[in-house]
Amino acid sequence: MPKPLNVAVVGATGLVGSQLLNVMKERDFPVGNLKLLASSRSVGMKVEFRGSEIEVLRAQPDAFEGTDIAFFCAGSDISRELAPHAVKAGAVVIDKSNAFRMDPDVPLVVPEVNPEALADHKGIVASPNCSTIQMVVALKPIQLLSRIERVIVSTYQAVTGTGKEAAEELHEQSEAVLAGKKASPVVYPYQIAFNLLPHIDSFWDNGFTGEEMKMVLETKKILGDDDIQVAATTVRVPVFNCHSESVSVKTIHPLGALRVRQALASAPGVVVADEPSLGIYPMPIDASGRDEVFVGRIRDDLDDPTWVHFWLVADNLRKGAATNAVQIAERMIQEGLL
């Protein structure tokens, strides 16, 4: 049994922070003392954890004394400001934000894909973008069969990827539209209820969005191959939870859908749900609350045998965020890195 660790959670009252506490409870993570940290508007709140009511404290530079591991579940600005203080205080930081992902000195880790990268940590480990995580979990078993040349992905991302306010906005707009009233967008630039927004994050000069470029750059780093060509189109959809993705993969050697299906079925963290004739394929309502990546609609390209196409779904708050962070910590405990 691992020794209890003193744990801090930054952003403890947000969607990801709250889910992380649930995941730690479910997985019996070895928590000794738990410190919950958030912005000033949440200070003083009480949060239940394993039968105790824990008061939320202010996230500030001197809050990490005596902490073994600090999960950062807030924005990039907070991570850049406070993570170095946590490391200086002796904590290992597992950061869910975009602050350090492309830093060459910071491992970017999905435990089912590249756990070996953890050995090189210098106090901070980055957890990838939610949409990247679920895709690379499915790409890794394919990469083990043949080098991947190109990936084309279109995402269908739930509003909880934006946060609590976005989920509330979808709920309120849906009620308004169904009542024949006008929906008023606040979180998103346009109505999200009964609509699709091909716009996640800001647009870059190359025509891709920040979310799309995260998938491009993070995939190369995690899979350890800068020559993989990745093109992404990311779309926000009126779904509360779980991101879905349509993925097309070109490999150097033809693999075929049957071989890919077999590799995915035996891969860690993957569930193959692929019986279209019986109406079996991954859907958000089935993946919600689960930690696996569900893959289906696995099929050969009609013209080029080096391409395979599939559909995947995962819970963006769990595997795409909280669970991946906890799995990183579990792996570090296992490897004696904490």
Residues that are catalytic: 130, 243
Query: How far apart, in Å, are the Cα atoms of 202 and each of 95, 246, 299?
Result: 21, 22, 33
53 forms beta bridges with: 48
Query: How far apart, in Å, are the Cα atoms of 259 and each of 144, 203, 264?
Result: 12, 38, 9
The Cα 6–Cα 237 span in angstroms is 38
CA 64 to chain centre: 25
Amino acid at 87: V
Phi-psi region of 37 (alpha: psi -120 to 50; beta: other; left: phi over 0): beta
The 8-class DSSP code of residue 322 comes to: I
The Cα 63–Cα 56 span in angstroms is 11
Strands of the chain, DSSP E: 5-10, 31-38, 46-49, 52-58, 69-72, 92-95, 124-126, 148-157, 229-236, 243-251, 270-272, 293-300, 307-314
CA 59 to chain centre: 23
The Cα 273–Cα 285 span in angstroms is 13
In the chain, % helix, strand, coil (3-state, to 5) comes to: 35, 25, 40
The Cα 268–Cα 270 span in angstroms is 6
Phi-psi region of 123 (alpha: psi -120 to 50; beta: other; left: phi over 0): left
Instruction: Tell which residue, 44, 91, 41, has the closest CA to residue 63.
Output: 91
